[in-house]
Amino acid sequence: MQQVAFWCALGAAATSSVSIAAYQILLGVALAAMLAGRLKWRLPAHWPALVFFAAWTLASLALSDMPRAGVPQIRKLYVWAMLFVVAALLREARH
């Protein structure tokens, strides 16, 4: 599962500027492979700031008078998953 997750993460990084759909599919497969293989997650150095940003985004949506307008921003939080996938899978400089 680690090899599948690694190659899907690499493919997602490579296709991010070419096809959003391919990027999101490959990122989803990498996340699923990491969960299925029970791979160890590593957090990036500045993870508290990312958690604060995500929590603040969710809080602003919850307190908004037009929550439907904030749904696209919630979907964009999925893109931040790439940071965690890369931090967990690319451990050595040779990767």
Cα torsion 30, 33, 35, 37 to 10°: value is -140
Sign of CA dihedral 81, 12, 74, 33: negative
Q: Are the CB atoms for 80 and 50 separated by under 8 Å?
A: yes
pLDDT > 60? residue 95: no
Tens-digit pLDDT profile for residues 11-47 = 888 888 898 889 889 989 998 988 888 887 777 778 8
Tens-digit pLDDT profile for residues 54-91 = 899 889 888 888 888 888 888 888 788 887 888 788 76
Mean of the per-residue pLDDT values of the chain: 84
Q: HSE (CB half, 13 Å, CA atoms) of 85?
A: 29
Cα–Cα distance measured from residue 80 to residue 64, given in angstroms and rounded to the nearest whole number: 22
